[in-house]
Homo-oligomer: A and B are copies of this chain.
Amino acid sequence: MINFEALYKLSYGMYVVSSGDHKSGNAYISNTVFQVTSNPPQIATCCHKDNYTIGFIQQTKAFAVSVLHEHSSSDIFKRLGYKSGRDFKKFEGIHVKYGVSGLPIVLDDAIACFECELVQSIDLGSHMMFIGQLIHSELLEEASEPMTYAYYRDVKKAAAPKKAPTYQAYIGPMVEPDTKGPKRYQCLACDYIYDDAEHDLLFVDLPYDWECPDCGSPKSIFVEIQ
């Protein structure tokens, strides 16, 4: 038996993974970035196969990572996490630099960045895991703490704004089943509202692979609203 709440006890950071070149590129929000060996330093990251960035990683055989700090703006998650680069130029209006490898690197809200050359690609089913050798890294802001996935969820919960962008990564459903009575949930991508009172099933009881009927976004990006 799998207790999904147990999975919430795993710890992650919050990152931007990017790839491409001076002409075109894309980036997405990820919580799965890990150093997997030290000699040589290799970094692993996971990318959903539907993700627009995946083509750039496979083409350039390289990817960059920006580490987000604890006070990163909601904008960066909305821009890079909840929209697709297929129909939105993610780099327009934010700070991007081109690294020693020519990779685009997102600087907004970043405290460190890494450039990696692809060494291995592992098929995980829904996702690819990319393992890259670290060729360049920079500390951009020493004093700031990296954002952890837990911090992101907890702070949003504490502040409880009406439209809190409680970012929930694709790797697991994060809506907690402690609801009493009907509630309302809004899609962060297209603003579609799921009102429990209008449906046979409560939102929390919808299957994990349920998608927004308007824009096809995953259940995990819905947030509770009042």
Q: Which residues of A contact B (CB under 8 A)?
A: 1-7, 9-13, 32-42, 44, 46, 67, 111-114, 120, 122, 124-127, 129, 131, 134-139, 142, 145-146, 148-150, 170-173, 208-209
- In order of increasing CB-CB distance, the 6 nearest A-B pairs are A11-B13, A6-B112, A9-B112, A6-B137, A9-B67, A6-B139
Contact between A36 and B129 (Cβ–Cβ < 8 Å)? yes
Number of copies of this chain in the oligomer? 2
Contact between B38 and A173 (Cβ–Cβ < 8 Å)? yes
CB distance from A29 to the nearest CB of B (A): 14
CB distance from A163 to the nearest CB of B (A): 25
Contact between A38 and B171 (Cβ–Cβ < 8 Å)? yes
CB distance from A17 to the nearest CB of B (A): 13
Could you say which residues of chain B place their CB within 8 Å of the CB of A137? 1-4, 6-7
C-alpha spacing A145/B37, complex, angstroms: 27
Partner of A208, one of B12, B35, B38, B112: B38
Partner of A171, one of B13, B36, B111, B114: B36
Could you say which residues of chain B place their CB within 8 Å of the CB of A3? 112, 137-139
C-alpha spacing A33/B11, complex, angstroms: 9
Given contacts A11-B12, A112-B9, A138-B3, contact A34 B35 (CB under 8 A): no
Contact between A35 and B7 (Cβ–Cβ < 8 Å)? yes
CB distance from A6 to the nearest CB of B (A): 4
A–B pairs, 6, beta carbons within 8 Å: A7-B137, A36-B46, A37-B127, A38-B171, A38-B208, A39-B125
Contact between A41 and B2 (Cβ–Cβ < 8 Å)? yes
Partner of A146, one of B10, B37, B171, B173: B10
C-alpha spacing A6/B1, complex, angstroms: 39
Residue of B nearest to A172 (CB): B38
CB distance from A194 to the nearest CB of B (A): 20
Contact between A39 and B124 (Cβ–Cβ < 8 Å)? no
